[in-house]
Amino acid sequence: MDPTASSETYASQLSTLRHGHALWQPDVPRVSGGDALSPPVRIGDVGYLRYGGFHTLFNVLLPSDHASQRWGTPPDFRQLEVPGTDGLTPQQVLDFVTSSKSSLGPGVLKSSGSYSYIRPDELATSVTRQQTASVTTSNQVLQEDTNLLPLFQQYMIQHYKSWLEWANEDNGFGIDLSDFYFVTGCDKSVEWEVTTSSSIREDQESHGTVDMTGYENSTAVITSSTTWTPSVDRRRGPYRISPPVPGELPIEPVYNQCLFIRGFRMMDRSLPEEYGDEDVIIEMIPDDCKSINLLAPILEYVLRDSSLEVAIAHDQDIFPFSEDAPNPLKVMSNLDELRPGINVVDGVGRIEIPASLQEAVAGPVQPEAPGNAGSTPPILTVD
């Protein structure tokens, strides 16, 4: 399967499990030799998605001169000021903002669904697509989230313009505002297997008049059905530079494989701007490698139903409208039916979800497993 198609199927199907955006590439980006290009995903990361993987640009909870700020930081970068963290080390700040820590699994998270449409051809072909996605881990999954969402939202609204200018003018990424992902939570494990499958069924019906001498003309209906063999894409990780050596002690598990991320995304009305000048070469990222934006229906709803120029949304905003289907058209239909309000902060709109809808949403789906066996995940540290 095409890697972009696989990542879209995977993320959209698993979105109904209410864990956030599922990463088709849970491992950190690496160079050809196997070395990691960035640290594991952490709360406070600002980055973007490509081919189903998350690429970190910088972390707002760390100082600009921290070793993990591989790409540097925007010129006017100011570390996010979290009340009560004066004098704390970077690791202590990360621990402080991580308001919720829990573990799941091990086991399997799986979701499947189908949707149908009529192809506009002479036979009015009915097409049904069946899709399935799953992630399996033999270790427990470490869940981390911050409850400081208003603080994170305000910070993104204040600084997104400088992020966009820095990413394009200074570094030539050629990304749009809607590409940015501001992480407020994530699920990590030690190893994983991700799978997607997709099959298509086409039903056709044609009508014709049969002329038989000596008999009245009659209408014949000819139906046919074709089912395409399911295409399956499966990946395992993490990437290993070399296989383990027999007889050596096993390496202590490291929870650095990010299965899901949760956070804020934004969108504006404007067309992509031309960044840079003659001395800056920008390598525009082709659309066919961009990962699906699951929050697009929410963001588009805000812009469509207001005169605002910019919208912001969090992954949890879509949960009340996508429990039964990940299809963007279905999500938009649910939005139009329920008509949630729009809250405006500094000229940026965010959907306002009534408490009754929030309370009706169940928590994240638990992995299918025979009990929560396995050791308790260790806490990752930052130097």
pLDDT in tens, 292-304: 899 999 999 999 9
Question: Distance between CA atoms of 156 and 153, rounded to whole angstroms?
Answer: 5
pLDDT in tens, 198-255: 887 766 665 555 555 555 555 555 555 565 567 889 999 887 656 666 666 555 678 8
Question: Distance between CA atoms of 321 and 59, rounded to whole angstroms?
Answer: 30
Whether the full predicted model's pTM is greater than 0.85, yes or no, is no
**DSSP character string of 71-95:** T---TT------TT-TT--HHHHHH
Closest to 343 measured CA to CA, from 150, 201, 206: 150
* Number of Cβ atoms within 10 Å of the Cβ of 319: 21
Q: Spell out the domain ranges in the chain.
A: 3-360
Cβ–Cβ < 8 Å for 61, 43: yes
Question: Distance between CA atoms of 265 and 177, rounded to whole angstroms?
Answer: 8
How sure is the predictor about 376, in pLDDT bands with cuts at 50, 70 and 90? very low
Hunting for tokens 């996605």 — which residue is that? 133
pLDDT in tens, 58-92: 999 999 999 989 899 999 999 999 999 999 998 89
pLDDT at 265: 97
How sure is the predictor about 124, in pLDDT bands with cuts at 50, 70 and 90? low
